[in-house]
């Protein structure tokens, strides 16, 4: 499952939309987040887009990982596949939808040597920003650790997964994130009735919508993240 991705606002050229200014310094440091590159891990914060009360897309920050079924300890779930589960069904309405922007995402190779996982990164061929199909909800509880609890009301998100396409399958056969690669797909995701989600999830992403990054280029997507 995808448990590490990058959301690099600067690389996507939308820093003015998100932060209100056009360019970053060469140090890649910014006063709001600490680093231009956002490498997102489970339980860390990430920028997402959600419709506000005026049906306008609005940037906000949420923490990655919705609580899973209580019978399994409510462990944070970052990737949602089984939308028929009674646990996820109440969160499938349009009011819970969000877009999760990404510039690259990773999967571990199924064929990695034992004890030494090999990570591969995928990104749009033009290195622009695409979106995952996200689900968001408010949650009261502890999203911290045993040594550093973080109890309170939290805005959390996860994203759906789907069948791996021909590019991702040789690396990770089980699944891949549900990617929204066009403006029409993004608008559909935000507004479609819950009854249509299964059909949206069943679509296979075209192979040419992503490319595998070289190790050298993938290194550019790692480093800074919001705790």
Report residue 71 as tokens. 């019978």
Q: What span, in angstroms and rounded, lies between the C-alpha atoms of 103 and 127?
A: 7
Residue 16 pLDDT level (bands cut at 50, 70, 90)? low
109-116 CB contacts, 8 Å cutoff, 24+ apart: 109/171, 109/172, 110/171, 110/172, 110/173, 110/174
pLDDT tens for each residue of 100-144: 999 899 999 998 877 788 899 999 999 888 999 999 999 887 777
pLDDT top residue among 21 and 89: 89
User: What percentage of the chain has pLDDT greater than the value 90?
Assistant: 52
Q: What span, in angstroms and rounded, lies between the C-alpha atoms of 180 and 50?
A: 14
pTM (global) more than 0.95: no
Q: What span, in angstroms and rounded, lies between the C-alpha atoms of 8 and 129?
A: 8
Query: What pLDDT score does 14 carry?
Result: 63
Lowest mean pLDDT, pick from 2-11, 25-34, 93-102, 170-179: 25-34
pLDDT tens for each residue of 64-103: 999 998 887 788 999 999 999 999 999 999 999 999 999 8
- Assess whether pLDDT exceeds 80 at residue 33: no
Lowest mean pLDDT, pick from 19-28, 66-75, 157-166: 19-28
Report which of 47, 127, 136, 60 is spatially closest to residue 95, judged by C-alpha positions.
136
């Amino acid at each position: 499952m995808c448990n590490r991705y990058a959301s690099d606002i600067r690389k996507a050229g939308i820093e003015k939309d998100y932060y209100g200014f056009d360019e970053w310094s060469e140090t890649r440091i910014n006063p709001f987040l600490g680093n231009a590159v956002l490498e997102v891990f489970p339980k860390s914060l990430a920028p997402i887009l959600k419709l506000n009360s005026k049906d306008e897309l609005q940037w906000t920050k949420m923490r990655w990982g919705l609580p899973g079924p209580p019978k399994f300890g409510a462990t944070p779930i970052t990737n949602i596949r089984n939308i028929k589960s009674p646990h996820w069904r109440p969160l499938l309405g349009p009011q819970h939808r969000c877009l999760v922007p990404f510039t690259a995402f990773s999967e571990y190779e199924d064929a990695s040597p034992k004890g030494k996982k090999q990570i591969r990164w995928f990104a749009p061929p033009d290195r622009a920003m695409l979106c995952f199909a996200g689900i968001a909800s408010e949650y009261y509880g502890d999203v911290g650790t045993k040594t550093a609890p973080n109890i309170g009301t939290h805005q959390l998100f996860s994203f759906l997964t789907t069948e791996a396409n021909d590019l991702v399958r040789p690396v990770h056969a089980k699944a891949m994130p549900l990617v929204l690669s066009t403006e029409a797909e993004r608008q559909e995701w935000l507004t479609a009735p819950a009854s249509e989600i299964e059909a949206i999830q069943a679509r296979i992403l075209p192979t040419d919508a992503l490319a595998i990054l070289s190790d050298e280029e993938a290194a550019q997507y790692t480093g800074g993240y919001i705790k």
